[in-house]
Structure 1
């Protein structure tokens, strides 16, 4: 009986932990393809900056980005963590003006900025 209760608690904890992750339905987006396509990347940036329409992936990113910054991506899947670092590094190096605009919008107080500047 005690083992069954422990098993149920373990299952409940694992289920609760799984529910605290962001959806992985967009984890298969070809991030390298987006980064290498100026038109598509610009459209994503416009979406995030409220300057253009958003794809479903863009809407999801825009919705989750503030929470991901605040929680240090604690709810991100491994793929999301890897891809977010890839995008950050790319924008910092190749599109610094737009990177600054994104930082000003999503990190206006500079709380997370220093962390990303050190990771380059």
Structure 2
């Protein structure tokens, strides 16, 4: 008999979770001043970013000869992509993305690796 109330409570809790609306973890912050293509290098890895004015974008990177890409979101002072990096704006208009105590300086570019072009369409 004790199993029934516990099972009913568990069903109620899980049922509430299943019907909850899903929302993005981080809402994008419009960043028209950062819109465009950016490149940065840390160690032997180069990241090429496309940032859209609405705060969304794509990051493309090369590692051991293989290119990969994933979406990114700028939310306040965070850049969420490969990691939740802190975005630090520089006086010259460039920025750095910092995570785990390491900052990657990002500079504007028009030179996009051929392997990234399909992913970095505006």
For normalisation by structure 1, the TM-score amounts to 0.29
Higher share in helix: 1
For normalisation by structure 2, the TM-score amounts to 0.28
Asked which structure has the greater CA Rg, the reply is 2
